[in-house]
Amino acid sequence: MTLPCTIHTTRATFTPAPGAAVTVSPEWRSKARRAAELAVRTVVPADAGPVGGHLELAGDVPLCRGFGSSTSDVLAAVWAVKDAFRAPLPPREVARLAVRAETASDSLMFEDSTVLFAQREGTVIEDFGYRMPPLRVLGFGSRPSNRGKGVDTLALPPARYDAAEIDRFTELRRRLREAIQTKDCALLGAVATASAEINQRHLPVPGFDRIRDIARTSGAVGVQVAHSGDIAGLLFDRDDPQADAHVAAASELLRGSGIDEQWNYTTGD
């Protein structure tokens, strides 16, 4: 499940042109170019003749951190093509195109609901029917020695979960469903923490026990980690009257543990 982040954005403009070629600026955004090509082929009728164009991208999403920079580029590209041709593209079709363009995708195309998403197949395992309850997120770089360098996410092999972990996921899925349908931030945070604990066997966060202790001490509802990247976050109930005080306390405790690369935001309504 994807945790939306509101502090970084990607913007895209697509200008159609005769001929089949699709170009992109900056040139290295090859996944976005591929996404635009696939979107053009999807929305332009086959009998319309060859159609291409130019994709212009701009944004500030950090690379290789777990912020979903590739998905941001790919979705912006697909939506720019959609807008340029005024063509309907439902979220499930966008998901299919995104995975074809980048191999694995976050589920940001599902803006009006929360989904359990098969990121390498581009399919929805379960639609929980509602957006997640609003959260306050205190994010941070979970590997201070990296100092924002991130990790090579493409080089990470997919996690191979054992039977016990898979059984635990079944129970977490049930609890996640309940948390979203009842808008229970505490239960959502507990699920996130359990998922982060499982991830310790696959992409361990240094000092995770200390981070979990800081969450408990500061009044956070849970801990979330990027399952491919070097960022993590403490989750708070956005509507808790003491949210500001809890976040401030957690921020100081993190700094005391040597984690000073921090940011905070809310996930919205």
Architecture of domain 132-266: 2-Layer Sandwich (3.30)
Pairing outcome for strands 135-141 and 10-18: unpaired
Q: Where are the domains of the chain?
A: 10-126, 132-266
pLDDT in tens, the chain (269 residues): 999 888 999 999 999 999 989 999 999 999 999 999 999 999 998 888 889 999 999 999 988 788 888 999 999 999 999 999 999 999 999 999 999 999 889 999 999 999 999 988 999 999 999 999 999 999 999 776 555 555 555 566 778 899 999 999 999 999 999 999 999 999 999 999 999 999 999 888 999 999 999 999 999 999 999 877 789 999 999 999 999 999 999 999 999 999 999 999 999 75
Global confidence as pTM: 0.89
Torsion of CA 32, 34, 38, 43, to 10 degrees: 40
C-alpha distances out from residue 207 to 36, 230, 249, 259, Å: 41, 13, 18, 10
Instruction: Choose the CATH number for 10-126 among 3.20.20.80, 3.30.230.10, 3.20.20.140, 3.30.70.260.
Output: 3.30.230.10
